[in-house]
Chain A
């Protein structure tokens, strides 16, 4: 595997379900990001992790719970979501002090909440 991978690529869940999104980066980076991309809305930064520590939480509802067990893996745990949470969830990674924090993105997980 190369670059940034995300699983699953597509997810349909009910409002009472619990699911998790997984992101893995194979670039040796030390920062990872979760973004939400909804139709007709700008890209929204949700969380930032540097060296496994959360450094940014952009007022994201608690029904989204991130986890970063090491610098290569990032999870987004989902529970009791709302239909308006349906979106493309993108993961990215970057390396501190290298290339101006150029971010490399995964293919995304398309989430549909029913």
Chain B
């Protein structure tokens, strides 16, 4: 069965510092991988997605993620965070033929001024 693990429930970084949010997945075939961001009281916004090809994926708001098959990981990175990046981030995995995707439990990002 598919599963997604986000090992960090909370992460705090200083404004201007770099960021890496971890995501590990479990799936037998090549998965479809997603990162979403949710601001308080809002819906989920798609940041980026990976289906195939280049394993380094660029997204919106200066985010990128790298698919590493050997580590079953899809970590999200940003070189310099802004206060507006404070939000909850969800990693998700899907597969061909499935009509749903599986979400991780989320990582809440806090930004120190």
Binding site for B on A (CB under 8 A): 4, 6, 31, 33, 42-43, 45, 48, 50, 55-56, 88, 90, 92, 94, 96, 99-108, 110
Residue count of chain B within 8 Å CB distance of chain A:
22
Do the beta carbons of A99 and B51 come within 8 Å of each other? Answer: yes
* Cα distance, A98 to B8, chains bound together (Å): 31
Q: Could you show 9 A-B contacts with beta carbons less than 8 Å apart?
A: A33-B100, A56-B100, A92-B44, A94-B99, A100-B32, A103-B46, A103-B101, A105-B43, A105-B45
CB of B82 within 8 Å of the partner chain: no
Do the beta carbons of A108 and B42 come within 8 Å of each other? Answer: yes
Question: How far, in Å, is B56 (CB) from chain A's closest CB?
Answer: 18
**Residue picked from A4, A33, A101, A106, most chain B C-beta under 10 Å:** A101
B42 neighbours in A (Cβ, 8 Å): 107-108
